[in-house]
Structure 1
Amino acid sequence: MKFTATEVAGAFIVEPEILSDERGSFFRTFCSDTFAAQGLATTYPQCNVSTNRQRGTLRGLHFQAEPGAEVKLVRATHGRVFDVAVDLRPDSPSYLKWAAVELDAARHNAFYIPTGCAHGFLTLEDDCALFYQMSAPYTPELARGVRWDDPAFAIAWPFAPAVIGKRDAACPDFTEEVVR
């Protein structure tokens, strides 16, 4: 696997080494030894799937507060999405910076998002699906969100969203209090 650092400290684009022959292809999506050698999380007690019908669907920006902060390893299993991580860790060298990667099911790439970062995505085509590996179980009382278009982050989304859920549309602007 190839790990490429992003603008957000501790966030990586993960690309598999694909072996192909006349039968098709084979690749690893995760290996605890390989991730541990990079100093990354190796335990994922919860996995989730997000399906999205329409191009322009926006989800996020979501995170869990301490003590339930979670690493996310996100991969598109169908379609393409513009996937974003925003660093909300005040002690981080990339505090309030964002990184984005186009996750593409055909490329089999993934985005490793460390704890303390908000996550969101915008679908680039119809019928997208994402598979999430989570380092901590979902805890509703620790669930948080910040506005996807907050000027504090100035995320350069590729286009305006067409579909936003009520919860995401109601997310507040970023403040230090929101993160706690």
Structure 2
Amino acid sequence: MAQKRLKKQLLKKKLFTKNRLVILNEDTFEEVFSLKLTLMNVFVFATIGAILIIFVTTFIIAFTPLREYIPGYTSTKLKKDATELALKSDSLEFAIKKNEAYLESIKKVLNGDLQYAKVNKDSILAISVDTLPDLQLTATEAELKLRKEVAEEDKELKKAKESKKSK
């Protein structure tokens, strides 16, 4: 205990002992600059400087176009254009489907399969609204086997936890 206290006192003494940093002119030995420092001051100054450099670098990279040169970052213009094009392609796809449904009904009228009185663009468009197909989602044998294995592992973990709690 006494040794720890002595080590702490020695460390404290080293950290706070004042030292002088002197810059001399080599030819004349004239003192150009002098500064009184402690080891703690140097450590604090270096830490604050490093944090400041990291902060400024992060700020420059995050809020300037430099971030586009980092792998994984895309330009904001590219993201905006991709979003706009996706929306346009969806709306064009929907318009094409509506027009195809209208043309099919006109073909039926021209072939005589349907009466003209029943063909109305609004009614055809209302009928051709996209609905998602009913998907038959069934698990494969591998999925069922995996589910059973996971359920068994969960049961074993629960039993182990309960046995630990009871002890």
Q: TM-score, normalised by structure 2?
A: 0.12
| Bigger helix share | 2
Larger Rg: 2
| Bigger strand share | 1
